[in-house]
Amino acid sequence: MLSYIIDGGKKLEGTVSISGSKNASLPIIAGTILSGKISKLYNIPNIDDIQITLKILKMLGCRIKKNNNKIEIDTSRMNKKEIPEDMMRRMRSTVVMAGAIIGRFKEAVFSYPGGCEIGARPIDLHLNAFKKLGINIEEKAGFIYCKCDKIIGTEIDLDFPSVGATENIILATVLSEGTTTITNAAMEPEIVDLAKFLNKMGSKIQGAGTNVIKITGVKNLKEVSYKVMPDRIEAGTFLCMVAATGGKVKILNAELEHITPIIHKLEECGCNISIEGKNIKLEAPKKLKCVDIKTMPYPGFPTDMQSIFGSMLTLAKGTSIVVENIFENRYKYISELKKMGSKIQLEGKTAIIKGVRRLNGTKVEATDLRGGAALVLAGLMSKGTTKVEQIQYIQRGYEKLEEKLQALGAKIIIKNT
Ligand code: EPZ
């Protein structure tokens, strides 16, 4: 089992370059299924979630050429429409592959992605939308069989602005007949990136980034090259890690407009933030001030930053109130932070974080990707040594995390223990 061993208390200082976005790359890779041609993708992060997604495409008959962050995907010989069950279980986001497979082949078989460490992760919004598009859905023994003669555009109003459901509807309707209008659509930047990629392929998608998205079906798509947007959550993670250790950093390649809610909250904590072209500079105060956080769909404060920000606030001056409004089980990291000496009270979806003078390094266990990142941050700002176990959760979503942190002066190594 791999663990991070962190000697905390070091100020992080220097420059870090942000990798491509995991959550934009995954639906875009799924989108390559639609063309039946070659797609060349750039700035794809080298992380486990991407490897799993590419493995599934290979199992479905696609040909992949990968050279670090460049990937060439040829889906011309794709001949299978069933997403392997064990792969579905390993990664819930594979559900957006279903939309792309149905969009191209008018049939797909996949299993329930299953609940995970941050919540039940139901897919009712996806399936209800498929039914509205005329797709026949049968559920047998945990498998979902989707089939239709053709997909006819329609109006779909989402009960909740689900990122995955919005992506799945777009992927399922790019090659449909007629026009689909999604209302109460998710507005996340990853949806905008997916739409940009698909429109470059020849799709007709309007309104991505707003809560009304129109997809007019087209007959075929073309070969495309596309560079994926930077990872806004990685950018936020590094800003918080530097702020938590009282350091200073220059972040390269981040997209400022994607992280304004995070920037505003860091300024409220007393950080001095300046923008130099495409680069963001942060200088931390001696002691962070407490702030209140409420996670919301974009453009609100992102749920993926809740645990990382909450961990940073354990040493802030005063008491911070964090409310998690998106997922129902995203506080599992708190029991681990308490082992380090933090003072956090959980009341339903609210965490009351009372700042303490110091955290003490100890052994903790990651249970999900962002909760794991929160524990790394806690280790960086603790006195003594912290061992973060089960780091496979963290490696799913951060490219070269330990290398980037070492370059900022952190004492962090990976150990097989
Ligand atoms: C995407 O997950 C991201 N994952 C998540 O990032 C992110 O936290 C989330 O969007 C919210 O921003 C990827 O893009 C791969 P949702 P997704 O559908 O699509 C409920 C990370 O750490 N819901 O917007 O699964 C759901 O249970 C990951 O990188 C239904 O009830 O999120 C949740 O409470 C974690 N029915 C809420 O909506 C449905 O059919 C938001 O889910 C679908 C969702």
- With a 6 Å cutoff on the Cβ, whether 304 touches ligand 1 is yes
Kindly report, residue by residue over 331-390, the tens digit of the pLDDT: 999 999 999 999 999 999 999 999 999 999 999 999 999 999 999 999 999 999 999 999
Over residues 146-155, the pLDDT tens digits come to 999 999 999 9
Q: For the domain 2-19+230-416, what is the CATH code?
A: 3.65.10.10
SS (H, E, C) the chain: CEEEEEECCCCCEEEEECCECHHHHHHHHHHHHHCCCEEEEECCCCCHHHHHHHHHHHHCCCEEEEECCEEEEECCCCCCCECCHHHHHHCHHHHHHHHHHHHHHCEEEEECCCCECCECCCCHHHHHHHHHCCCEEEEECCEEEEECCCCECCEEECCCCCHHHHHHHHHHHCCCECEEEEECCCCCHHHHHHHHHHHHHCCEEECECECEEEEECCCCCCCEEEECCECHHHHHHHHHHHHHCCCEEEEECCCHHHCHHHHHHHHHCCCEEEEECCEEEEECCCCCECCCEEECCCCCECHHHHHHHHHHHHHCECEEEEECCCCCCCCCHHHHHHHCCCEEEEECCEEEEECCCCCECCEEECCCHHHHHHHHHHHHHCECEEEEECCHHHHCCCCCHHHHHHHCCCEEEEEEC
**Among 52, 112, 158, 162, which is best to mutate for testing ligand 1, by the most ligand atoms less than 8 A from CB?**
162
pLDDT at 115: 57
Q: Give the Å distance between the CA of 297 and the centre of ligand 1.
A: 10
Q: In the predicted model, what is the mean pLDDT of residues 255-274?
A: 97
* pLDDT reported for residue 91: 82
If you measure from the C-alpha of residue 119 to the centroid of ligand 1, how many angstroms do you get, rounded to a whole number? 9
- pLDDT tens, 155-195? 999 999 999 999 999 999 999 999 999 999 999 999 999 99
User: What digits encode the pLDDT tens for the residues 5-56?
Assistant: 999 999 999 999 999 999 999 999 999 999 999 999 999 999 999 999 999 9
Nearest-atom index, ligand 1, CA of 160: 38
Residue 281 CA to residue 289 CA, distance in Å, equals 19
Common-topology check for domains 2-19+230-416 and 22-221? yes
Per the CB < 8 A criterion, the answer to whether 145 and 105 are in contact is no
Contact 40, 21 (CB under 8 A): no
For residue 20, what are the CA distances in angstroms to 28, 68, 173, 353?
12, 12, 26, 32
- Measure 409 CA to ligand 1 centroid, in angstroms: 34
9 sits in the region (left: phi over 0; alpha: psi -120 to 50; else beta) called: left
**Hey, how many other C-beta atoms are within 10 angstroms of the C-beta on 242?**
30
Find the mean pLDDT for residues 271-294. 96
Residue nearest to atom 35 of ligand 1 (CA): 304
Is the shortest distance between the CB of 10 and ligand 1 below 6 Å? Answer: no
- pLDDT of 116 reads 62
Which residues neighbour 339 within 8 Å (Cβ) at sequence distance 6 or greater?
A: 362, 363, 364
- Domain boundaries defined on the chain: 2-19+230-416, 22-221
Q: What pLDDT sits at residue 93?
A: 80
Distance CA 131, CA 214 (A): 18
Rounded mean pLDDT, 94-121: 89
**396 C-beta closer than 6 A to ligand 1:** no
Mean pLDDT of 122-126: 95
Q: Which CATH number fits domain 22-221: 3.55.40.20, 3.20.20.60, 3.65.10.10, 3.40.50.2020?
A: 3.65.10.10
Determine whether 280 is exposed, middle or buried from the number of CB atoms within 10 Å of its CB (0-12, 13-18, 19+): buried
State in Å: Cα 162 to ligand 1 middle.
6
> Is residue 410 within 6 Å of ligand 1 at its C-beta?
no
pLDDT tens digits, residue range 200-219? Answer: 999 999 999 999 999 999 99
Ligand 1 contact, 327 CB (< 6 A): yes
**Alpha carbon distance 131, 125 (integer Å):** 10
- How far does residue 121's CA lie from ligand 1's centre (Å)? 7
> How far is residue 224's CA from residue 231's CA, in Å, rounded to a whole number?
21
Residue 148 known to be catalytic: no
Tokens of 171: 């992927």
